[in-house]
């Protein structure tokens, strides 16, 4: 039974989304099925193929090294305050500030716009959604909620940003 726990959870989430939807006719089953298919393909690529796992491990190592730089900066900034209990704020806040500043720099250098155009364009072409909705869903899983708003500035319209903010 435990081998079907993931599928059961997925079915329950989809059933709940359908149950609370106020306009069921506008739900596009193609978008849902293609999105789920892409997730399964990515999972198989990473879990079953050693090259896919190695590429993911490489990127995870690069992100860990980047976050490690904030640890060194925190040691420089806070010094002895990091040695005791209750240092969560001194350890977490610099990571948030550093990544927010880095995303701001990427926005200034037009890397975010390039990301929106390429990645959002590819996902929107496959799923038949708008670019901003596609980028929003991609960044929410990788960047987290506070930083994903930074990715939406270049191409946002009021209604798109509102619909994404509520998701």
pLDDT at 99 over 60: yes
Same-domain check for residues 162 and 128: yes
Does 41 fall in a domain? yes
Contacts for 135 with CB less than 8 Å, ≥ 6 apart: 115, 116, 119, 120, 123, 151, 152, 155
Contacts for 24 with CB less than 8 Å, ≥ 6 apart: 18
pLDDT at residue number 12:
92
Flag the least confident range among 31-45, 61-75, 143-157: 143-157
Q: How many domains does the chain have?
A: 3
Does 94 fall in a domain? yes
Q: Which domain holds residue 18?
A: 7-46
Does 2 fall in a domain? no
Q: What is the mean pLDDT of residues 99-112?
A: 86
CA 123, CA 11: separation in Å to the nearest integer?
Answer: 23
Does 73 fall in a domain? yes
pLDDT at 162 over 70: no
Note if the pTM is more than 0.75: no
Same-domain check for residues 116 and 140: yes
Strand, helix or coil for residue 1: coil
pLDDT at residue number 62:
92
How many CA within 13 A on the CB side of residue 72? 6
Q: What is the mean pLDDT of residues 53-79?
A: 85
Same-domain check for residues 77 and 40: no
Does 86 fall in a domain? yes
Residue with tokens 């059961």: 8
Does 163 fall in a domain? yes
Same-domain check for residues 160 and 115: yes
Q: Is 130 exposed, middle or buried (0-12, 13-18, 19+ CB in 10 A)?
A: middle
CA 51, CA 100: separation in Å to the nearest integer?
Answer: 31
Contacts for 47 with CB less than 8 Å, ≥ 6 apart: 53
Does 115 fall in a domain? yes
Same-domain check for residues 39 and 59: no
Contacts for 70 with CB less than 8 Å, ≥ 6 apart: 94, 95, 98, 99
């Amino acid at each position: 039974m435990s081998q079907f726990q993931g599928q059961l959870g997925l079915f329950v989430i989809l059933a709940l989304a359908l149950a609370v939807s106020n306009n069921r006719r506008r739900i596009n089953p193609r978008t849902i099925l293609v999105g789920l298919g892409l997730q399964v393909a990515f999972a198989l690529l990473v879990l079953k193929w050693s090259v896919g796992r190695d590429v993911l491990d490489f990127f995870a190592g690069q992100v860990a090294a980047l976050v490690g730089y904030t640890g060194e900066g925190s040691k420089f900034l806070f010094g002895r305050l990091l040695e005791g209990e209750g240092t969560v704020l001194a350890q977490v806040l610099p990571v948030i500030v550093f990544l927010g500043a880095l995303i701001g720099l990427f926005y200034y250098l037009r890397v975010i716009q390039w990301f929106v155009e390429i990645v959002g364009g590819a996902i929107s072409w496959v799923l038949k959604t708008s670019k901003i909705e596609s980028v929003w869903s991609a960044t929410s899983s990788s960047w987290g909620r506070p930083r994903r708003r930074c990715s939406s500035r270049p191409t946002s319209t009021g209604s798109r940003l509102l619909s994404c903010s509520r998701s």
